Structure 1
Amino acid sequence: MHKDIFDRLERFYDAVPRDVADAEEHGGLVLFVRAGAGWPFYARPLVGAAEPPSLADVTSVRERQRELGLPEAFEWVHETNPELLAVARSAGLSVLEAPLMVLDPAALPDPGTLSDVPVRVLAADSPGFAADVAARRAVAAVSFVAAGTERGDAGPAERDAAVTDLELAALDEERTRIADGRRISALAGTPTEGALASGMAMRVDDVAEIAGVATLPAARRRGLGAELTATLARELLAAGTDLVFLSAGSEDIARVYLRVGFRRIGTACIAEPAPFIP
């Protein structure tokens, strides 16, 4: 039913890392190895591979990831590569099965209807660009420690403590991608509280993924994540994107995105080594 969408998603997933990473093929898998500093990538099924990924392919990739000091991370869409779930689990990996959701543009709410906290899209030529990017990353760092939708104690003080200086290369990459339309970053916040929620979108041609949507635990249940996601979606549609998707970290988080107009079409799998239990 959604084969065309899944095919477009595979091309997107394969394209995103290639301008900043080397692609190493391991049988039915491809491992993306970032050429410089920045967030490490993952391994995915190789587009157009003759055979589905095997246990030997997974083992080969994990050995290479350990050799390079990279996280042993794998990502795939279950509907496109259904056999990989059992293979990953047989390799001892823990698999998160995340709701994969696509935007229905007709169901996108009007601006300002989900929260009264303003959302600001970052401009690459803004004088405060570096501080904004640092704030976006700090909000995400604090928020993902206590993932989910429940309120908590961590707020602006913890965000400020998490702010770090950005490497010039990382800042230049962010500025370039925003300027050429491949990335959109946004912050939600108030003048007194500062940045409370953050998120971004990655775009390749007419397909885009919204990712990294995060709200400080102390600011949750105010509609910030939904409003920020809707803002990113509107920006993407205005730029000519006709397929906007995301992966929700849980069923509770997926319900937030349902309010924004996203509908589930499948499952995004994210695998990593199972935690050690003594």
Structure 2
Amino acid sequence: MSDLLAAIERFYDAVPRRYADAEDHGPLTLFVRRGEGWPYYARPTLGHAGAVEAKDVAAVRARQRQLSIPEAFEWVLETTPGLDAAAEAAGLCVRRCPLLVLSGEPRAGVLPADIALALVSAEDPDLAASQAVAHVAFGALGTARGAAGPAERDAAAAALAAGQTATWRAALVEGAMVSAVARGREGALAGPLCVGSYQHAHGIAEIVGVGTLPAARRRGLAAAVTAILARHALDAGMRTVFVSAHSGEVARVYEHVGFRRVATACIAEPIERG
């Protein structure tokens, strides 16, 4: 394992511990979220040298069902080879995603004149709407334009549990999370249109949750949000900035900002039954 991937592995183990209890399941560690917010997952136990077998995955899945939390697993393929086969043997679907690291300075494109780009403040009155952007965006993965826009964002914001926004606000206040938003200044596409964040530990920052409302896509907003976050992370003293992309198509957005592919991030979840 390279020094870079070893450092990223330490990061992956550290970040969930801020808001989750870590359960030891031998070769796997299950992170169980305390309070409201995005649920966590199971990962390879930091420093475990042996293989992870299908029975290990099955045991953790049983515990996740017992806790009524998602049966989700995440890891880096090059760091834990063989876990993909074990997860598939345990009945999970494995998605392999490009993992990219910033190389040099982030490159920001020119934003449309009707877009304002800024870091998110904990006092921002649009906090719920900005958070809702991600819910709508990840309901329509990819980079293609679509119909969902501000109306769907506002409906999602109204449906958010108060605790979810409070959790994000607390992370912003603590500095555990830094977020950025691209807003439309006026017209049909007014308000928060694209949002993203980074979390950090041990001098490493991971950019997460970059999403654009489908109606506002193909305007360079995701690249701009990524670039401002990467710039902030570097200025804050982060030695490494990385991101995982849902697909090769999304990875190209990050590559335009200055990221390069170094590994493969894996996500395993139950197979959807049609």
2:180 pairs with 1:206:
no
TM-score (norm 2): 0.93
TM-fit CA distance, 1:146 = 1.1
Q: 1:7 and 1:238 mapped to 2: Cα distance?
A: 23
How high is the sequence identity, in percent, across the aligned residues? 51
TM-fit CA distance, 1:123 = 1.9
2:26 pairs with 1:27:
yes
Deviations 1:67-104 (A, max 9, x none): 01010000000000011011111111111100000001
Give the equivalent residue in structure 2 for 1:227: 224
Q: Which amino acid in 1 is paired with 2:240?
A: L
2:143 pairs with 1:149:
yes
Deviations 1:191-234 (A, max 9, x none): 21111111111111310100110001111110000011001111
Give the equivalent residue in structure 1 for 2:119: 121
TM-fit CA distance, 1:167 = 5.3
Q: 1:114 and 1:78 mapped to 2: Cα distance?
A: 36
Is contact 1:45–1:52 with CA below 8 Å preserved after alignment? Answer: no
TM-fit CA distance, 1:165 = 6.5
Give the equivalent residue in structure 2 for 1:56: 55
Give the equivalent residue in structure 2 for 1:175: 169
Is contact 1:77–1:267 with CA below 8 Å preserved after alignment? Answer: yes
Is contact 2:131–2:157 with CA below 8 Å preserved after alignment? Answer: yes
Q: What is the SS of the residue equivalent to 1:148?
A: coil
Is contact 2:193–2:213 with CA below 8 Å preserved after alignment? Answer: yes
Is contact 1:199–1:213 with CA below 8 Å preserved after alignment? Answer: yes
Give the equivalent residue in structure 2 for 1:266: 263
Give the equivalent residue in structure 1 for 2:16: 17
2:193 pairs with 1:196:
yes
Is contact 1:134–1:165 with CA below 8 Å preserved after alignment? Answer: no
Q: What is the SS of the residue equivalent to 1:151?
A: coil
Is contact 2:37–2:167 with CA below 8 Å preserved after alignment? Answer: no
Q: 2:18 and 2:132 mapped to 1: Cα distance?
A: 25
Q: 1:161 and 1:173 mapped to 2: Cα distance?
A: 20
Q: 1:100 and 1:198 mapped to 2: Cα distance?
A: 20
TM-fit CA distance, 1:61 = 0.3
Q: 2:110 and 2:34 mapped to 1: Cα distance?
A: 42
Give the equivalent residue in structure 2 for 1:139: 133
Q: Which segment drifts farther, 17-26 or 177-186?
A: 177-186
Q: Unaligned stretches of 5+ in structure 1?
A: none
TM-score (norm 1): 0.92
Is contact 2:129–2:157 with CA below 8 Å preserved after alignment? Answer: yes
Q: 1:156 and 1:100 mapped to 2: Cα distance?
A: 30
Q: 2:29 and 2:147 mapped to 1: Cα distance?
A: 40
Deviations 1:41-74 (A, max 9, x none): 0000001114222111101100000001010000
Q: Which segment drifts farther, 258-267 or 50-59?
A: 50-59
Give the equivalent residue in structure 2 for 1:275: 272
Q: 2:270 and 2:43 mapped to 1: Cα distance?
A: 15
Q: 1:65 and 1:166 mapped to 2: Cα distance?
A: 24
2:1 pairs with 1:7:
no
Q: Which segment drifts farther, 48-57 or 70-79?
A: 48-57
Q: What is the SS of the residue equivalent to 1:58?
A: helix
Q: 1:158 and 1:18 mapped to 2: Cα distance?
A: 33
TM-fit CA distance, 1:114 = 5.3
Q: 1:99 and 1:58 mapped to 2: Cα distance?
A: 23
Q: Which amino acid in 1 is paired with 2:229?
A: L
Q: Which amino acid in 1 is paired with 2:89?
A: S
Note closer, same or farther for the CA distance 1:267–1:115 as it changes in structure 2 (3 Å cut): farther
